[in-house]
Structure 1
Amino acid sequence: MTDPASAGAPSERRTLWIVLVLNAGIAIAFLVAGVTADSSALLANGLDNLSDAAVYALSLAALGRAAKWKVGAATVSGVMLLVLAGGVLLDVGRRYLQGSEPIGVTMMLMSAVAAAVNYACLKLLQRVREPDVNLRAATTFSFNDFISNGGILVAGALVWWLGSNWPDLVVGFATALIAVKGGIEILRDARREAHEIKEKDA
């Protein structure tokens, strides 16, 4: 069953396809750089962007569908963010106990490229008029990513300057906290939307 109000939204669909492709590309770059640079922060953001790409795919599937379907897709998005946060926390804990040797220069370069990509995604999403619950979730993801990129830039500079791994671990931990916050916000928004739907149906 489709939602007449959202059916035939080519601009929203085009925007989501663009941010989906951009996030998938930057996620792969982050994951490769995270492994080669032994960086928890880069890996965390790679998983974050990969999760974002999956959420954008869900948002695309939700376009033109019934409002209840959209709420369900947004709920899945929020849960995915919380699961991501748990995985990042485990990785940070492992690196704290076992040690790591992140490469600061790689962290700085990747953060600069990713910041430009995420800023472009954020501006595209903010242009959408009257975004539904899934598009609002997508905007939350892009904003969180942009903030995280700034943290990686600072952490990379500190790793390079101090020759220590603790700035990388701090940013990885902070990325997890940002993901928790974003996931909770998305779930609250979905719950509020579901409540409004129930009131309309009553």
Structure 2
Amino acid sequence: MEKTLFEITKMDCPSEENLIRMKLQGVSDIKNMLFDIPNRKLTIYHSGGIDQIEKLLGELKLGDKKIKTEQTEEINFAENSNQRKLLWTVLGINFLFFVLEMVTGIFSKSMGLVADSLDMLADSFVYGLSLLAVGRTLSRKKQIAKLAGYFQIVLAFIGFLEVLRRFFGTEKLPNFSTMIVVSIFALLANGICLYLLQKSKSKKEAHMKASMIFTSNDIIINLGVICAGLLVNWLNSNKPDLIIGTIVLILVIQGAMRILKLGK
């Protein structure tokens, strides 16, 4: 048995972890995977060569780099029986806030909230794909990934069109107080999701650090929408809201492209 340590520079939240798990799901040589999200490290326990694993990780373009491979005597890996339940929990939280942010974003005229709701939907896709992939054939898993990825791109494209319409139009100012309050709740929801997922890990990885939460793109996005809300009020302009909305939509597109890679 060997274990190989990877550095995954773009693995900053559980969504990337689930993408990696799905990508490597069919590799029979892999016996166990340990994720260290705060330090962006992945340890893979495997038998046989590492070439196929490196190739599959490279296809995700998450900035993977092999650090070292060494022999290990560890052969007993405890399975987490609550993993499926936790995935359903975080999926539910993300989907709930997708609906909440979409509805409040539409009524408050905030593209930042609408775009962040699509980011929440993207995370829901990833967790949902992880659940659907269990017990499915490889071809079925690829079909599901393609469908989710293309649907996400369509939604982001519609979002870009709306940003352009509001930029050149005379849309009313977004409600800055709604932007701030809803984003604070979304930030707390993302923190809960991260905590629940990390709680399922071994004792070494179970201790949640505040620095880990703030390295998550989702947390940064929530803070960005809050700042945009403050700037909307201060500058009496909708431009900060449109800017943060555009940034988030770009991140949604990047997430969709990663999902589509699973369908290849």
Q: Is this a same-fold pair by TM over 0.5?
A: yes
* Residue in structure 2 matched with residue 163 of structure 1 by the alignment: 236
- Residues 72 and 9 (structure 1 numbering): CA distance in 2 closer, same or farther, change over 3 Å? farther
Q: What is aligned with 1:84? A: 155
The alignment of Structure 1 onto Structure 2 pairs a total of residues equal to 176
Q: Which residue of the partner structure matches residue 151 of structure 1?
A: 224
The unaligned stretches of length 5 or more in structure 2 are 1-25, 33-78, 202-215
Q: Tell me what 1:103 maps to.
A: 175
Distance 1:163 1:19 in 2: 36
Are 2:121 and 1:50 aligned? yes
Could you tell me which residue of structure 1 aligns to residue 165 of structure 2?
A: 94
Counterpart amino acid of residue 121 in structure 2: L
> Which residue in 1 is equivalent to 2:250?
177
* 4+ runs deviating over 4 angstroms: 3-6, 126-129
Alpha-carbon distance in structure 2 between the residues aligned to 1:74 and 1:82: 12
- The CA distance in 1 between the partners of 2:138 and 2:80, in whole Å, is 15
More displaced stretch, 104-113 vs 73-82: 73-82
Normalised TM-score (structure 2): 0.57
Determine the C-alpha separation between the residues in 2 that align with 1:78 and 1:52: 11
- Deviation string for 1:10-59 (max 9, x for gaps)? 42311221012111221222122112211111112223323443443333
1:124 lines up with 2:201 in the alignment = no
Query: Contact 2:118/2:252 (CA < 8 Å) preserved in 1?
Result: no
CA distance in structure 2 between the partners assigned to 1:80 and 1:145 by the alignment: 20
**C-alpha deviations, 1:55-96, integer Å up to 9, x for none?**
433332222323443344333333333223212101111111
| Contact 2:122–2:255 (Cα < 8 Å) also in 1 | no
Name the larger-Rg structure. 2
Q: TM-score, normalised by structure 1?
A: 0.73
Q: How far is 1:126 from its partner?
A: 4.9
Bigger share in helix: 1
Paired AA for residue 90 in structure 1: L
Change (3 A) 1:13 1:46: same
Q: Structure 1 residues 126 and 82 mapped into 2: Cα distance closer, same or farther (>3 Å)?
A: farther
Residues of 1 paired with 2:259 and 2:125: CA distance? Answer: 15
Judge conservation of contact 1:84–1:179 (CA < 8 Å) in 2.
Answer: no
User: Aligned partner of 2:225: which letter?
Assistant: I
Amino acid at match of 2:161: L
CA contact (8 A) 1:34 1:40 kept: yes
Q: Which runs of 5+ in 1 are unaligned?
A: 130-142, 195-202
Question: In structure 1, what is the Cα distance between the partners aligned to 2:151 and 2:217?
Answer: 14
Identity of aligned residues (%): 37
Partner of 1:112: 184
Once superposed, what is the RMSD of the aligned Cα atoms? 2.9
Q: Which moved more, 1:23-32 or 1:9-18?
A: 9-18
| Letter matched to residue 117 of structure 1 | A
Does the 8 A contact of 1:40 with 1:95 survive in 2?
no
Change (3 A) 1:166 1:180: same
Indicate the residue corresponding to 1:33 in structure 2.
104
> Equivalents in 2 of 1:181, 1:128: separation in Å?
27
Give the structure with the higher percent strand.
2
